[in-house]
Amino acid sequence: MTPGRRRFLRVTGAAAVAAAAGAALGCAAGRSRSRRLGFAIDAQRCASAKGCLDCIRACHRTHNVPDIPDAGHEVKWIWKEPFDRALAVDDPQILTPALRGLPVPVFCNHCDNPPCVRVCPTQATWPRDDGVVTIDAHRCIGCRYCVAACPYGSRSFNWVDPRPYVRAPPSDYPTRSRGVVEKCNLCEERLARGLRPACVEACAERAIIFGDLDDPASDLRRALANRYAVRRKPELGTRPQIYYLI
């Protein structure tokens, strides 16, 4: 090899390594944040044990979520799970008899480190700078990789055309088509109009507290300061943004 060629390869190789290192550092630095939206759910205030489904009805009505009778094909953005199933808590100090089995609302945690985003091959789901993990239904190819990746079972796939199962008249929010994935979108269309999420507003017991986790003055942070809170599967490193107040 001539000296010229050797030098060229050296420079190119060094440049490639530098670029890769820069890219890696850029990724590691994390994304820019405007807010960090999250929730606190007060299990003791939640009246679901008495049969209240207000948050679910409000969410599913607002977003035209279909009501499919076949349980295997159901689509749900928010639903109730027994406390000890939603949260892997078996400490008797925390899991009092009152809490055990108490149904609490569960929905997408809008994780700070979402595995569903990491796996999507088309960037049809991504985290916004305010923390909302959102889906572009136009781009989703329906591979269901994100459904496999979600450790919480928050995502639903449209196995059939949902339109016949959407309660008429539909709200203005677009329905989805068969063959795409959907989940709680943190009412981003309501947030854009300065409104609070539908579930938060619908809850008469004010059991769902919403706010900016990065704002120390928010109701959310004040609620978290006073009560012990747990999150779902924190050991997985997903950094979920829904806190369940004990």
Instruction: Tell me how far, at minimum, the Cβ of 140 lies from other proteins, in Å.
Output: 7
The answer to whether residues 147 and 108 touch, using CB atoms and an 8 Å cutoff, is no
* Binds other proteins (CB under 8 A): choice among 151, 196, 214, 227: 151
Site string for other proteins, 60-79 (x = CB under 8 A): ----x-----xxxxxx----
> Which of 223, 236, 212 has its CA nearest to residue 35?
212
Instruction: Tell me how far, at minimum, the Cβ of 135 lies from other proteins, in Å.
Output: 9
Q: What is the dihedral of CA 54, 57, 60, 65, to 10 degrees?
A: 150
* Binds other proteins (CB under 8 A): choice among 81, 205, 214, 219: 81
Give residue for tokens 């008899």: 97
Residue 157: which residues within 8 A CB-CB, separation 6 or more? 75, 142, 144, 147, 180, 181
Closer to other proteins at the Cβ: 89 or 179? Answer: 179
> Does the protein bind other proteins through residue 173 (CB under 8 A)?
yes
Footprint (CB under 8 A) of other proteins, residues 2-61: none
> Does the protein bind other proteins through residue 139 (CB under 8 A)?
yes
> Does the protein bind other proteins through residue 109 (CB under 8 A)?
no
What is residue 24's DSSP assignment? Answer: H
- Here the tokens at position 78 are 């928010």
* Binds other proteins (CB under 8 A): choice among 172, 217, 225, 226: 172
Site string for other proteins, 191-230 (x = CB under 8 A): -xx-------------------------------------
Give residue for tokens 């899991």: 95
DSSP reduced 3-state for 181 = strand
Is the torsion defined by CA of 6, 11, 17, 23 positive or negative?
A: negative
Name the pairing type of β-strands 37-42 and 242-245.
Answer: parallel
Q: Which residues are at the interface with other proteins (CB under 8 A)?
A: 64, 70-75, 81, 85-86, 106, 115, 118-124, 128, 134, 136-145, 147-153, 156-161, 163, 169-181, 188-189, 192-193, 233, 236-238
